[in-house]
Every structure is written in C-alpha cells, then in structure tokens.
Structure 1
C-alpha cells in the first residue's frame, strides 16, 4: 500500500505521530515542572525534540498583598529536549498567554520584577518555617 506524497495517515504509531505538529507552536511540560513554549522543528524515534524560538514560562502563584498571580518568559532560542524528560506536549494557537485562556488571571511581568517577587516569597516561607532544617547536617548530629 502506498500513500500519495505529502499525505499523513490519521494514525502513526510512536513518535512518528509528531509529524503533524512540525512547524507549529507547542507547549511542553517537563519532568522538572518547567513549561517550555516554542515551535517544534524536528524530532527523532526517541521523542527527542528540537524547539525553536523557545522560552521557559515561569509562574508565581502567590497572592501576596492582593496582587494577581504573575508569570514571565525567559527567552532560550533553539533548545533540544530529551524525550524522556517530556511529560506532556500539546499544540497551542500561538505562544502568548492570552491565547491559552490565562490572560485575565495572570499578569505578565519582566524577569527582574519576577525575580524580586520570588525572593520575597522565599523570604516569607523561611520566616513561616522558622529554622530551616538542613538534611545533611541535622542527620549527622
């Protein structure tokens, strides 16, 4: 059985089914909970992927002082991601948050402001916990 040139069958097993997402914007959620947005340019039989125009989207869900949860994008350029690190990958309309249904709930901030917010959150968490427990030193005593 042969297929006409350029046609893609409705079902392709394994990583070959990614051919339909080539040259389209995708969102990847990785095992370390990072969110990567970019354009899928290539893949192999192990689901290793090459993402162009990639950016890591970072979230801060804290609602301190009545502020809305915030996010920022860190530009990364071309990125190769190992297939065993990908938890889920899906196609998105475009790479902006407004198109992903979060525009009204999240506020985009510059990276410097995001880092300042995260520092305040980290300091607040340490104050809540009191003395921080250090696994290595506390077990040795």
Structure 2
C-alpha cells in the first residue's frame, strides 16, 4: 500500500504522537533540567526535534527578599535537540506563561541573575563554610 504524497500515514514507528504537535508551541523538559519552549517544526525517527522561536525558561522558586517565585526567558532562536535528552514534551497553549494569579511573575534575565546571586548568598550564609575537598581531607 502506498501513501499519497503530502499525507501523513496513520502509523509512524516511534514517533506517532509528535505528528499532532507539528507547527504548535511545545514545552520540553531536558535531562539537564532545562525547560525549552518553542514551536515544533520537525522530528525524525529518533525523536530528535527542531524547535523554532525557542526560549530557555529559567525558574527561581525561592526568590530572596519575599519577592515570590519568578521566571525569565533566554531567547535561543532555532534549536535542534537530541531525542535522548528529552524527558517530557508536551503542547502548550501559548509561548508566554500566564501570571498564575500573581504568584509567578516574569522578570528580565538581568533581574533573574541578580535574584539568583542573592539566593546563592543567602544559602551560603546559612551553610557557613563550604566543604573544600582538597583541604578538608588533608586535616
């Protein structure tokens, strides 16, 4: 049986569900815990994907100073992601996130980095001196 040119066969081994997400916004959670959002343009039998208009979405759930949880987007353009790096992929309604009733707010990447530095300083202060592998084993 042959498939007419331009139509998608009813069964594509290993990637059947991706056909429905083509040209739609998707969210990918990767093995290194990054979150990528963009428009799915292409895929292959190994689940390698091409995502256009992609952004890496970074979250900070413990924003210092009582500011609440925040997120920032880092624009990446077109991105090819290997299938073995994808943990979860799903369709999203929009590339922008709703404000979730004021609980999660969007900030610029500069503000995000400043918040992360503040959080790191607070955690460092709580921990006290960090364990130094080279000097602590020699004592």
Structure-1-length-normalised TM-score:
0.86
| Residues 13-28 of structure 1 aligned to structure 2 (within 5 Å) | 13-28=13-28
5+ residue gaps, structure 1: none
Instruction: Quickly say closer, same or farther: Cα 1:46–1:127, change in 2 above 3 A.
Output: same
Contact conserved, 1:26 with 1:37, CA < 8 A, in 2? Answer: yes
Distance 1:110 1:49 in 2: 27
Partner of 1:133: 131
Partner of 1:116: 114
Contact conserved, 2:53 with 2:76, CA < 8 A, in 1? Answer: yes
Partner of 1:51: 51
Q: Is 1:90 matched with 2:55?
A: no
CA deviations over 1:97-130 (Å, ceiling 9, x no partner) = 11xx736321100110110000000111111111
User: How far has the Cα of 1:14 moved from its partner?
Assistant: 1.0
CA deviations over 1:29-65 (Å, ceiling 9, x no partner) = 0011100000011111111111100000000101433
Structure-2-length-normalised TM-score:
0.87
5+ residue gaps, structure 2: none
User: How far has the Cα of 1:12 moved from its partner?
Assistant: 4.2
Aligned residues: 138
Partner of 1:68: 68
